[in-house]
């Protein structure tokens, strides 16, 4: 486990099981969880995508059944073409690790609630809709149209067609993202300002 604010607040770092499994990386643990979900030993429940044990996991806990798990291969570094995929990969990595400014957290949480509703309606885990990293990038970019949303890493054509209007609707229902007074969010445009726009 990680000693995050919530973990410390609820004394989870004081549990006897805290830190067990630290020999595996976060990516390896994600692989274990994916495999347990696929084998029906874990399920995703609730608005927040909580992992729960299924009835089938009882036999594993009683050591009546062994669970074969495949070790996740290390991802090899690949060379990227000059087509822009390197820049897209860098944006995705940044979005996954950068903490959001406090003013964007409510929008991020609103998108997570929306995502949970979509996942519940479709009977799929929330990450199937969008990963947290994608939601972080969405609130950072704050697209005002479905077309702009399509430029966000993690939003392909299918997800854009399926969820684009919903995401834009959530953002439109909020306070508009970052105010211009804060100086770090200006719409990008190639168009010259009209004379009426000059100050």
* 14 in a structural domain: yes
Q: Kindly report the backbone phi and psi dihedral angles of residue 155, in degrees, each rounded to the nearest multiple of 5, phi listed first.
A: -115, 95
Please indicate, yes or no, whether residues 94 and 22 belong to a single structural domain of this protein. no
Q: Is the pLDDT of residue 178 over 90?
A: no
Q: Is the pLDDT of residue 52 over 50?
A: yes
Please indicate, yes or no, whether residues 42 and 98 belong to a single structural domain of this protein. no
Please indicate, yes or no, whether residues 111 and 168 belong to a single structural domain of this protein. yes
pLDDT for 42 equals 84
* 18 in a structural domain: yes
Looking at the chain, the whole-number percentage of residues with pLDDT higher than 70 is 73
Please indicate, yes or no, whether residues 118 and 39 belong to a single structural domain of this protein. no
Q: In whole angstroms, what is the distance from residue 171 CA to residue 173 CA?
A: 5
Q: Which of 44, 61, 78 is the last residue of a domain?
A: 61
pLDDT for 95 equals 45
Q: Is the pLDDT of residue 196 over 90?
A: no
* 154 in a structural domain: yes
Strand pairing report for 50-53 and 42-45? antiparallel
pLDDT for 161 equals 93
Q: What is the mean pLDDT of residues 158-177?
A: 87
pLDDT-derived band at 192, boundaries 50, 70, 90: very low
* 20 in a structural domain: yes
pLDDT-derived band at 165, boundaries 50, 70, 90: very high
* 74 in a structural domain: no
Q: Which of 61, 76, 96 is the last residue of a domain?
A: 61
Domain holding 160, by residue range, is 86-182
Q: What is the CATH number of the domain that holds 178?
A: 1.10.150.80
* 92 in a structural domain: yes
* 131 in a structural domain: yes
Instruction: Give, in order, the Cα–Cα distances in Å from 111 to each of 47, 56, 85, 150, 168.
Output: 12, 33, 26, 16, 10
* 151 in a structural domain: yes
pLDDT for 177 equals 52
Number of domains in the chain: 2
DSSP code, position 174: T
Please indicate, yes or no, whether residues 51 and 100 belong to a single structural domain of this protein. no
Q: What is the mean pLDDT of residues 157-177?
A: 87
Q: In whole angstroms, what is the distance from residue 77 CA to residue 115 CA?
A: 31
Read off the pLDDT of residues 126-161 as tens digits, 9 standing for 90 and up.
988 999 989 999 999 999 999 999 999 889 999 999
Please indicate, yes or no, whether residues 56 and 139 belong to a single structural domain of this protein. no
Q: Is the pLDDT of residue 72 over 80?
A: no
pLDDT for 91 equals 54
């Amino acid at each position: 486990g990680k000693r995050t604010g919530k973990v410390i607040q609820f004394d989870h770092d004081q549990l006897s099981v805290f830190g067990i499994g630290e020999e595996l990386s976060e990516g390896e643990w994600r692989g274990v969880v994916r495999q347990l979900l696929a084998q029906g030993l874990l399920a995703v429940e609730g608005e927040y995508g909580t992992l729960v044990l299924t009835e089938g996991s009882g036999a594993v806990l009683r050591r009546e059944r062994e669970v074969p798990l495949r070790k996740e291969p290390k991802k090899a570094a690949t060379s990227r073409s000059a087509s822009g995929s390197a820049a897209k990969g860098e944006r995705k990595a940044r979005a996954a690790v950068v903490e959001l400014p406090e003013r964007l957290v409510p929008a991020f949480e609103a998108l997570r609630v929306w995502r949970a509703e979509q996942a519940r309606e479709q009977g799929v885990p929330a990450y199937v809709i969008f990963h947290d990293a994608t939601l972080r990038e969405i609130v950072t970019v704050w697209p005002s149209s479905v077309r702009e949303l399509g430029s966000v890493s993690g939003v392909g054509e299918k997800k854009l067609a399926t969820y684009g209007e919903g995401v834009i609707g959530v953002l439109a229902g909020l306070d508009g993202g970052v105010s211009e007074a804060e100086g770090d969010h200006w719409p990008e445009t190639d168009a010259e300002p009209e004379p009426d726009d000059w100050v």
